[in-house]
Amino acid sequence: MFFSTYIKLFFVLTPFMVLSSFLTWAGSTDSGNRHRLIFRFLIAVVLISMLLLVVGKHLFAAFGITLDSFRVGAGLLLLLSAIGLVQGKAFYELSDGQSDFTIVPLAIPITVGPGTTGVLMVMGTEMVTWQQRLVGISSLLCAILTLGMLLYMGTFLEKHLGQLGLNVLSKLTGLVLAAFSVQIMMQGISNQLLN
């Protein structure tokens, strides 16, 4: 259960898109500043993700949205993100004069975009027992930590894989996300048909 949740969350965070964006925007920044940028980015992603895990259930109750309806919507948003990755259209441009990109747009919306938001809110609502919460939170933290390790190794990976290699990995991530999004939508649709 832990490993499958960890893998899903790791791909939902679109790690290779994040890495490509970070390498482009960090440019020739020295390693000390890069490490500070990565640390700020990771703190932001952890805080945003944990908040989404907690608030999902309460938002559903407040707006009268059923979990299965939200599954369909979240799956659709994740599918659109996946299509963007496969087509290579998920890149964001920095606004003029913007020097700090760690929160916007790297943490939001590249890492925690609409599809990721939906998945985290659904996951938080499905975590009923303390064991499920422990597995979900630890899987999420490990996925974010792995993403951080990728960023720390960014220069090495870019040197050995090249931009083409990173683009191929982003497209593969999109394929995995597409399959995952369809699974989420099918679960929501089948549950609604049964009820």
Q: Is the pLDDT of residue 165 over 90?
A: yes
- CA R_g for the chain: 17
Could you report the per-residue pLDDT of 36-73, keeping only the tens digit for each? 999 999 999 999 999 999 898 888 888 888 999 999 99
Give the model confidence (pLDDT) of 11-31 as tens digits. 999 999 999 999 999 988 899
DSSP string of 27-59, one letter each residue = TT--HHHHHHHHHHHHHHHHHHHHHHHHHHHHH
Computed over every residue of the chain, the mean pLDDT equals 92
Model confidence at 192, in pLDDT bands (50, 70, 90)? confident
Mean pLDDT, residues 81-96 taken together: 79
Place of tokens 């931009």: 163
Confidence of residue 91 (pLDDT cuts 50, 70, 90): low
Instruction: Give the dihedral sign, CA 141/92/26/24.
Output: positive
pLDDT score, position 97: 67
Instruction: Report the distance separating Cα 158 and Cα 23, nearest Å.
Output: 8
Residues in CB range of 11: below 8 A, 6 or more apart: 173, 176, 177, 180
Percent of the chain with pLDDT over 70: 97
Give the DSSP letter of residue 105.
Answer: I
What is the tens place of the pLDDT at every residue in 100-143? Answer: 899 999 999 999 999 999 999 999 999 999 999 999 999 999 99
**Half-sphere CA count of 166, side-chain side, radius 13 A:** 23
Q: Give residue 194's pLDDT.
A: 85
Domain ranges of the chain: 2-194
- Under DSSP, the state recorded for 195 is -
